[in-house]
Chains A and B, each alone.
Chain A
Amino acid sequence: MNDQAATAHQKPHPGTAGYIKIALTLFVLTALEVGAYEVARRGAPPGLAAVVAPLIIQILLVLSAAKFALVAMFYMHLKQDSKIFSSVFVFPIIIAAIILFALIALFWYLGIQHP
């Protein structure tokens, strides 16, 4: 890195062991996502499906958000780097989320259905 000042401000990076742990966590979270999908799809095992199926959207949302955060914070080094980078990334995500949820609300739940 050629910017000495910036390097000096950074907190220490996770290191190889840390990165491997994150990679494995991402793998496990993905497996859980697909697992939840399969359980909901097959409706089996019945006890688990009864819990998972009605909450599948929320489960997928939480799991994917966790993966998103892990990659952003540790692989993209947002946790260690200047908060300016985090702001530059997070603010558009907030606007994006507002737009996404507003459009879903407008088209799925509100207003007159267009023929």
Chain B
Amino acid sequence: MSHDSAHAIPIETSTGLDSRKLAIWTFIGSECLFFASLISVYMVYKGKSLVGPFPHQPWTSPTGQEFEPILQIPLVTTGTALLLFSSFFVVMALAGAQRGDRRALLGWLGATIFCGMFFVGMQVYEFYHFVHEGLGYTTNLFGSTFYTLTGFHGTHVTIGLIWLLTIWILALRGKLPPEKSLNLEIAALYWHFVDVVWIVIFPVVYLMR
């Protein structure tokens, strides 16, 4: 029977902290620089697109085609809210895991995954809609920076979903007892981070004109 880690007695670490938890925080710290660089590029090129469509203003192309401002705040706000709630759900899932409440764990974690999937779905729909409206990856600087920034964020969300789903399946098969709840805690930290990055991206991209 295969089993993953977090089983035997951990040896003492110099800080008393689990090395894997420290590792995920270290990774998260590094990822802050990754997203900060992408956000910086977005900010540097904000307002510098030579042609539309533009995020917040309408635009008429040289050929006379008219474009509305392309960002759809209601849809994205819903996705944002769901992502925020998913952080709440995963905290509850972790609490369930730590006290050995398998039903709570499966329920809350399932809700987390559902919210995350909705968020990714929203983004996929948004990308599809934008392309349909004339904003391609190479159309202008807004397109390039927007798709790169939100695309990498979405990729991080997707990886997080795969991770959480794997843990959900493990929990379903009874392989996530309280002693192994650290595995969920680490995945949850990654998930919260992905949420926190969106907390920055949402106003910068969608709400700043």
Contacts and interface: CB of A to CB of B under 8 A. Distances in A.
Nearest to A103: B40
Helix, strand, loop or mixed for chain A's interface? helix
Contacts of B179: 2
B39 interface: yes
A71 B195 contact: yes
B164 to A, nearest CB: 15
Interface of B: 6, 10, 12, 15-18, 21-22, 25-26, 28-30, 32-33, 35-37, 39-40, 43-44, 56, 73, 77, 80-81, 84-85, 87-88, 90-92, 95, 98, 178-182, 185, 189, 192-193, 195-196, 199-200, 202-203, 206-209
Nearest to A96: B36
Interface of A: 1-3, 5-6, 9, 13, 16, 19-20, 22-23, 26-27, 30, 33-34, 36-38, 40-41, 56-57, 60-61, 63-64, 67-68, 71-72, 75-76, 82, 84-85, 88-89, 91-93, 95-97, 99-100, 103-104, 107-108
Contact of A88 (B25, B35, B87): B25
Contacts of A88: 22, 25-26, 28-29
